[in-house]
A and B are shown apart, each in its own frame.
Chain A
């Protein structure tokens, strides 16, 4: 088919000109009448189908899993793994290109980028298709301005000052290089220059600093691009260049600073948190934690790594804030804990705060009230949205003595409402941040003992996964388009993340597993043979796919300036490769729901 086939459509955009030529020469076209099967489950596929017009339903028994439209291709699994797992049935008059299986297999063998589309593991596939973004990441670093990476302000030392004085002043400012004014000229002295002067040349401490400075300063303008600075550094074999704004020196740019741009300078945030002397001092680093999420993502870091870095930094922030605002009595008798997605270490863009305080006994009420207000106000000031369920230190329910909370947990267990189950779920994810971690361990132990192995209670708890359906991809859109209303946005949190997270939570509670991260729970459950290792990997893989798409949607929402609809993604706006990955991930979630339904007979809850 010479001109009709759209070779810019993923995964075909990964083919070389010659490969596209081969592909086009071997294409046939099939017409399928409505209701006619295209690929049957268990059937070996002779072709990869690429829809030209019409739509194809993907069914598994009675369930409609997805609706494919023009540009979508199927069934990659049937091509590679021998047989299809699902039914593919034409929903309307449908035309498809047919790519012969032998050619697809040949292209897979020859072209690794194209092959990635046929990976069975969804997250590996996602990685392969995010490659373009990764390159953008490096590009964006080199295109950043020197100003964004360099550190200031410049420290100016008189040439007549002693090297001892210079060393002290640099130490106070915690910097490694300073400018030296000597008459009309300006030079630079570094920590290394001073060390060498004393240790190697054995110069006395009173030596004027001008003797160890150098005056051939290599400078770059603050508005220059990073790549210009890198060129200068390479050409002059320097690891540091002076930064100038007009005639003024404003600071230095070091190679480590450029590294900071690449890695999102998250390595610098802990130091700034540690040095904070007041709540106000924490505002800057708190905002940087959020800012680096976007940067790390732009540079192609995987979502689970971003979540790990972010939650580590958030925990440091909580510890410091607790030190700053908690009075001694609370610090001595309390345990600060974080729960929910923060506890699992799976939060990237801040959506809410789930935190609480456990005490080993009553503390003075007025003092506690002041702490609750101050802690909550500070977090709000840092940009943590309040928790809609009020799972916060500010809520007396979540900041009380151990005995009170354990009593409360037992009430929730007996209560059997979705709200109570949700509270238990959030608490089950709790981790201690600072203070008396033993208190939390005790409270959790009490909860696990009450629940463990109690199938009726666990089933009631697990039933929360039935709160939201996992939708069929693309089905709404066609319905809606027909009446011309809205599109088929999918709430990725409800459709994908929650069922996996909560299902694992329920299984972990059933088995008395105290891991809080979903990955950790999956590993522990696999060890206990709750499901096949293969299925565990698929589920974790699917969770990461959902987290990645959600993060993209969230960052988009942040750019828009509102967190409303932050978990919504529009399948219609995705590339066909992304749609394919999402479809596979939703299929895995549906299998997992089925497993939970069977294990806990969820159908009986109605």
Chain B
């Protein structure tokens, strides 16, 4: 039994509120949820979620008409001026928002047992886990689908040693021909991740690789995000 499955078992047993048992049931087949959080910073231990958006994906369709969107009121920390510049959620907007403990139940019901799709989705899930531990004493058990690793596989999976990687989100979008929506808006980021996943999944199914630029004309060194 793998380590992940053990943890799942453990959390399932220790689930504080059994109304959330559905998180451990598999979601409807062929469905997933793309998710993105805007946060006050990059440290899950100290920072908070400011906005969160999720869209369901069914088959090859992104159901933007049934999306989940919320602006979250931070519990303790003030959003630093820098992070406000990044995602433009002003203190005024946050004032009308709900605290995470009120947002999370609806979000969890929206997600259900579906896999979570995102760009560096592990970070978003770590942020959510912080609140989930408080609320229902578990971490999110949903399988995670990492768009950047699918991209890595399609583009650099067969690369010779020494190849410079570029896994930036805008490089990924550019390679896939996905028109960039206004970035650092949780819903747009979730939708773009969903588009990228559908495209990458199809490339994978057809065994199509993304061509790499020739050495010497390559992109700048990887930044990782």
Contact = CB atoms under 8 A, between A and B. Distances in A.
B88 to A, nearest CB: 12
Most buried by A among B61, B194, B206: B61
Contacts of B95: none
A548 B10 CA distance: 73
Interface in B188-208: 188, 191, 194-195, 198-199, 202-203, 205-206
B215 interface: no
A28 B63 contact: yes
A156 interface: no
B181 interface: yes
B89 interface: no
A335 interface: no
Interface string A87-100: 00000010100101
A4 B62 contact: no
Contacts of B181: 3-4
Given A26-B65, A93-B199, A95-B195, A31 B179 contact: no
A95 B194 CA distance: 11
A10 interface: no
Contacts of A27: 64-65
A31 B195 contact: yes
A28 to B, nearest CB: 5
Given A3-B181, A25-B65, A53-B178, A31 B60 contact: yes
Contacts of B205: 33
A11 to B, nearest CB: 20
Interface in B54-89: 60-65
B81 to A, nearest CB: 24
B224 interface: no
A30 interface: yes
Contacts of A574: none
A26 B182 CA distance: 19
A98 B58 CA distance: 14
B62 A28 contact: yes
Contact of A28 (B64, B202, B203): B64
A47 to B, nearest CB: 10
A2 interface: yes
A31 B188 contact: no
B188 A3 contact: yes
Nearest to A31: B198
Contacts of B64: 1, 27-29
Nearest to B187: A2
A54 B177 contact: yes
Contacts of B191: 1, 4, 29
A70 B65 contact: no
A33 B61 contact: no
A52 B195 CA distance: 11
Interface string A455-491: 0000000000000000000000000000000000000
Contacts of B199: 31, 93, 95
Nearest to A95: B195
B176 interface: yes
Interface in A79-122: 93, 95, 98, 100
Contacts of A28: 61-65
Most buried by A among B61, B64, B185: B64
A402 interface: no
Interface in A17-40: 25-33
A4 B188 contact: yes
A3 B61 contact: no
B179 A53 contact: yes
Contacts of B206: 33
A3 B199 CA distance: 21
Contacts of B203: 93
Contacts of B62: 28-31
Contacts of B63: 28
A1 B203 CA distance: 25
Contacts of A33: 60, 202, 205-206
A3 B182 CA distance: 7
Contacts of B195: 29, 31, 95
Interface string A555-584: 000000000000000000000000000000
B187 A93 contact: no
B52 to A, nearest CB: 15
A53 B192 CA distance: 12
Interface in B67-124: none
A53 B178 CA distance: 6
Most buried by B among A2, A26, A27, A30: A2
A53 B65 contact: no
A69 to B, nearest CB: 11
Most buried by B among A1, A3, A100: A1
A229 to B, nearest CB: 49
Given A28-B61, A53-B177, A95-B178, A3 B198 contact: no
Nearest to A6: B179
Interface string B156-180: 0000000000000000000011110
A93 B61 contact: no
Contact of A93 (B176, B179, B185): B176
A101 to B, nearest CB: 13
A478 to B, nearest CB: 13
Given A1-B191, A29-B191, A33-B202, A98 B61 contact: yes
29 contacts: A1-B64, A1-B191, A3-B181, A3-B182, A4-B179, A4-B181, A4-B188, A26-B65, A28-B63, A28-B65, A29-B61, A29-B62, A29-B191, A29-B194, A30-B60, A30-B61, A30-B62, A31-B62, A31-B202, A32-B60, A33-B60, A33-B202, A33-B205, A52-B179, A70-B179, A93-B202, A95-B198, A95-B199, A98-B61
Given A27-B64, A98-B61, 5 more contacts: A2-B187, A4-B181, A28-B63, A29-B64, A33-B202
Interface of A: 1-4, 25-33, 52-54, 70, 93, 95, 98, 100
Interface of B: 60-65, 176-179, 181-182, 185, 187-188, 191, 194-195, 198-199, 202-203, 205-206
3 smallest CB-CB distances across A and B, nearest first, come from A31-B198, A29-B62, A4-B181
